[in-house]
Amino acid sequence: MVTIAPDQTLSILHLEDSLADHELTALTLRRSGLHCHLHQVDSLADFRRLTDTQAFDIILADYRLPGFTALDAWTHVAQKPQHPPFVLLSGAIGEAAAVDAIRLGIADYLLKDDLQRLPHVIARALEVHDARKAREQAVAQLEASERRLAELTEHLQTSIEQERASIAREIHDDIGGALTAVRFDVAWIGRHSTAPAMKEHAASAAEMLQHAIEASQRIMMNLRPPILEQGLVAAVQWLAAGFERRSGIPAPVVTSSETIHAPPDIQLAAYRTAQEALTNISKHAHPGTVRIDLSDKEGVLTLEVTDDGRGIDPQMLDKPKAFGLKGLHERARTVGGWLDISSRPGQGTSVILSIPLTSHPSPAPGDVQ
């Protein structure tokens, strides 16, 4: 129980129409050594006026008063964001009514016949009140921190995509162009050389340059896939085809329609989710088959990537450094969606992304990222 400091003076509002009961309450508090200013009111109008203009540490209230009850007073106080604890102090209330009052948010109740317990009840009510305020403050601070973290995550996601787009453009414009030009020059040297060794070296260099060009194109596609300009369905099918080609594992794509219209940020979130899921499958799952379902039915974009591989240990999902999966959750949240990952060891994994489309205006056909 909280202890009230000896030098602490409580401001108490006493809603009581009996002067004798009020004086007895004041005497009980004085004898307990509790320092307080006790303000008595006996009308609902005066109660409302005082609670609107003054701050009190605690409110004591008789249950039945002329023309109203303590519940009417509580209804007025409960609307205030920082209201003090409210304690029923009455001789005319049954236990059922007292329990109902506590369910409404009233801190406690005490019968006047047990008035000697009033200091203890006041201390307990203040303790609970202080604990609730501290908890509410902690929750508010946590929510504010989570909002700031979410805003930072969204900013980082946007910055990463912008940086990827910038690097992809540089690879395409500078590195890709330079490699292509060098390949043409090497091919020219090979065609105009009469020495067999020179022709052989030129052919070998041209082949290596072609590999470098293909690698730069692959890196560019991974950084900022221009395939998304052809639509989400085409982009996911391209991902699946690349996965099949590299792994030899079938990865059919099943879609609700040939074209799915969604805003660019949602398309990118779905594409990155499919990309990360397929990357994880190729690294860890060792499946026999993979299936990708893409749908926009009922105003919700749904992407599901399912495999029949090893599955994921539940502890792996909670690893502090499972940044890939955490990143997918955060990416989904930034576009108003959510991600579900279900897996059982030895029975495969299912990654499901769901994003409501009703709150996002759909782009016109032909719009690009």
Q: Model confidence over 220-256: pLDDT tens digits?
A: 777 777 777 888 999 999 999 999 999 999 999 999 9
pLDDT at 91: 80
The verdict on 132 and 231 lying in the same domain is: no
- Say what percent of the chain tops pLDDT 70: 92
| Number of domains the chain contains | 2
**Nearest residue to 92 via CA among 36, 13, 143, 17:** 17
The owner of tokens 């201390």 is 123
Full residue range of the structural domain in which residue 29 is found: 9-137
Domain boundary among 137, 164, 194: 137
- Is residue 74, in this structure, part of any structural domain at all? yes
CATH assignment of the domain containing 257: 3.30.565.10
More confident residue, 343 or 146: 343
Whether 97 maps to a domain, the answer reads yes
Q: 300 near 355, Cβ under 8 Å? A: yes
**Mean pLDDT within 178-193:** 88
Strands 9-15 and 35-41, by their bridges, are parallel
pLDDT per residue as tens digits for the range 257-309: 888 989 988 998 999 899 999 998 998 889 999 999 999 998 999 999 999 99
| Digit-coded pLDDT (tens) for 315-336 | 666 665 555 677 788 889 888 9
> Of 137, 154, 170, which marks where a domain is finished?
137
On the question of pLDDT at 158 being above 80, the answer is no
pLDDT for 258 = 87
Q: Which residues contact 51 (CB under 8 A, 6 or more apart)?
A: 13, 59, 76, 77, 80, 83
pLDDT digits (tens, 9 = 90+) for 273-283: 999 999 989 98
| Residue 177 belongs to some domain of the structure | no
Task: Check whether 172 has a pLDDT greater than 90.
Answer: no
Let me know if residue 64 belongs to a domain: yes
Q: Are residues 244 and 361 in the same domain?
A: yes
In this prediction, residue 367 carries a pLDDT of 47
- State the average pLDDT for the chain: 86
User: Is the entire prediction scored with pTM above 0.85?
Assistant: no
Q: Exposed, middle or buried, 93 (CB in 10 Å: 0-12/13-18/19+)?
A: buried
pLDDT band at residue 173 using 50, 70 and 90 as cut-offs: confident
Q: Are residues 232 and 369 in the same domain?
A: yes
Instruction: Indicate the DSSP class of residue 328.
Output: H
Give the model confidence (pLDDT) of 28-42 as tens digits.
Answer: 999 988 888 999 999
Residue 205 forms part of a structural domain = no
Is 213 among the domain residues? Answer: no
Is there a domain that residue 152 lies in? no
> Quick check: 77 pLDDT over 50?
yes
Buried b (16+ CB within 10 A) or exposed e, 139-160: eeeeeeeeeeeeeebeeebeee
Beta-bridged to residue 64, according to DSSP, are 69
Residue 211: pLDDT band by 50, 70, 90 thresholds? confident
